């Protein structure tokens, strides 16, 4: 009985990475699984490599002729697996990553041995480079593992610490719906899933995550400003929706007075890039230039509100807008937020006063 189902969405991929990825799944010590490969509008070379593995009875190929995005590909794969009663445990992996031989065996065992309320287990993983070499030394890797291990379920609002090595129960997955909100579909999924189940960690590296491979979306997000802005907005939408579901209000209101046209997108993005994210950002704008400036540059964030005001209203900010949050910070150019930890330090100082 194949009680584990794994999905691999594939767009265009480096041939050697794709082969290594598929082979690493097929060489698992635990053999009773299905691998659903969803071809998502891939080129002929990528498609031909995948079909070389079609004779393995554990492999199911779903072939989308047109690219529809990662979430759509994942949902197609998991929709197929949901129809198989024998499949009880689910996971997925990218087509340039490598799963180690005990990946399925150890994650599955952890789920089976865990209390019934545990629906998701995850492990540490290696970061590997283009040549497959592990990028961190033993001490660095131990620190990464400890960082993951010390996280608790509510810390997910602060960081996506689950990582790329995971498995979850189909019974819980069926209660929350599918994947969406590319390119942060997995982070959003964990936020929703962990609202109905607990999690457990395996302090062992069970896979290799290939960092910034040539055709990876993660590389585009890192180096392409428009892709990065898209990712940041989607990430904060996932957080914002989780807050609304959990009825968690923001802690801080940042008031950003705008009285002339010298406000730069860089200033705004320095705020949005901060590690501290528990705030709403309110522009009190008498220039009426912030909305078009944000629109023209593609800078979006669910925490942003722009209030356009007259000169008289601007001169009396306290009456124009009264925050409902415990903390209030009025932004000025004297506040240096070029370091991503600056806002955290400022908020911590405010709490001690």
What is the distance between the alpha carbons of residues 280 and 286, in angstroms, rounded to a whole number?
A: 19
Q: CATH number of the domain that 77 lies in?
A: 3.90.550.10
Q: Which of 3, 168, 171, 6 is nearest to 87 (CA)?
A: 3
Confidence of residue 353 (pLDDT cuts 50, 70, 90): confident
Residues 184 and 118 in one domain: yes
Amino acid 26: pLDDT: 98
Confidence of residue 321 (pLDDT cuts 50, 70, 90): confident
Q: Does residue 173 lie in a domain region? A: yes
Amino acid 219: pLDDT: 72
Residues 211 and 300 in one domain: no
Amino acid 216: pLDDT: 63
Confidence of residue 171 (pLDDT cuts 50, 70, 90): very high
Amino acid 215: pLDDT: 56
Q: How much is the mean pLDDT over the chain?
A: 94
Q: Which residues pair with 208 in a beta bridge?
A: 98, 126
Helix then strand then coil, in percent of the chain rounded to 5, is 40, 20, 40
What is the distance between the alpha carbons of residues 223 and 182, in angstroms, rounded to a whole number?
A: 18
pLDDT digits (tens, 9 = 90+) for 192-250: 999 999 999 999 999 999 987 665 667 777 778 999 999 999 999 999 999 999 999 99
What is the distance between the alpha carbons of residues 34 and 258, in angstroms, rounded to a whole number?
A: 57
3-state secondary structure 87-130: CCEEEECCCCCEECCCHHHHHHHHHHHCCCCEEEEEEEEEEECC
Residues 173 and 287 in one domain: no
Residues 153 and 267 in one domain: no
pLDDT digits (tens, 9 = 90+) for 267-303: 999 999 999 999 999 999 999 999 999 999 999 999 9
| Angle, in degrees to the nearest 10, between helices 225-246 and 185-193 | 10
Find out whether 251 and 348 touch, Cβ atoms under 8 Å.
no
Q: Does residue 235 lie in a domain region? A: no
Domain with 314 in it: 251-352
Alpha helix positions (H), the chain: 15-26, 44-51, 70-82, 103-113, 138-149, 170-173, 185-193, 217-223, 225-246, 265-272, 290-297, 311-314, 317-320, 342-352
CB atoms within 10 A of CB 250: 19
- How much is the average pLDDT of 307-329? 85
Q: Does residue 210 lie in a domain region? A: yes
Amino acid 213: pLDDT: 64
Domain tally for the chain?
A: 2
Q: Does residue 244 lie in a domain region? A: no
Q: Does residue 243 lie in a domain region? A: no
What is the distance between the alpha carbons of residues 268 and 272, in angstroms, rounded to a whole number?
A: 7
Amino acid 320: pLDDT: 67
pLDDT over 90 percentage in the chain: 88
């Amino acid at each position: 009985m194949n009680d584990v189902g794994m999905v691999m969405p594939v767009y265009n991929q480096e041939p050697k990475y794709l082969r290594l990825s598929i082979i690493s799944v097929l060489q698992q010590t635990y053999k009773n699984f299905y691998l659903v490969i969803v071809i998502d509008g891939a080129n002929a070379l990528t498609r031909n490599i995948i079909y070389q593995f079609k004779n393995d009875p554990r492999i199911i190929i779903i072939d989308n002729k047109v690219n529809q995005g990662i979430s759509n590909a994942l949902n197609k794969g998991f929709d197929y697996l949901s129809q198989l009663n024998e499949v009880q445990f689910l996971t997925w992996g990218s087509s340039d990553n490598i799963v180690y031989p005990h990946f399925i065996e150890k994650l599955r065992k952890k789920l089976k041995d865990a209390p019934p309320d545990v629906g998701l287990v995850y492990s540490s993983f290696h970061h590997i480079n283009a040549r497959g070499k592990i990028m961190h030394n033993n001490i660095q890797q131990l620190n990464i593992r400890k960082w993951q291990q010390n996280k608790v379920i509510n810390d997910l609002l602060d960081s996506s610490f689950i990582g790329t090595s995971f498995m979850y129960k189909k019974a819980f997955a069926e209660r929350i719906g599918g994947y969406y909100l590319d390119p942060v579909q997995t982070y959003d999924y964990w936020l929703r899933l962990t609202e109905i189940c607990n999690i457990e960690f395996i302090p062992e590296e069970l896979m290799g995550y290939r960092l910034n491979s040539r055709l990876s979306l993660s590389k585009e997000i890192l180096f392409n400003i428009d892709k990065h802005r898209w990712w940041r907005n989607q990430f904060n939408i996932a957080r914002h929706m989780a807050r609304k579901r959990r009825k968690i209000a923001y802690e801080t209101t940042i008031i950003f007075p705008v009285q002339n046209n010298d406000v730069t997108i860089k200033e705004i993005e320095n705020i949005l890039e901060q590690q501290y994210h528990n705030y709403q950002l309110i522009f009190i704008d008498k220039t009426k230039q912030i909305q078009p400036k944000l629109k023209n540059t593609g800078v979006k964030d669910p925490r942003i509100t722009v209030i356009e005001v007259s000169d008289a209203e601007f001169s009396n900010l306290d009456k124009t807008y009264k925050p409902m949050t415990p903390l209030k910070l009025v932004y000025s150019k004297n506040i240096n937020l070029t370091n991503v930890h600056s806002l955290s330090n400022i908020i911590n100082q405010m709490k001690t006063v």
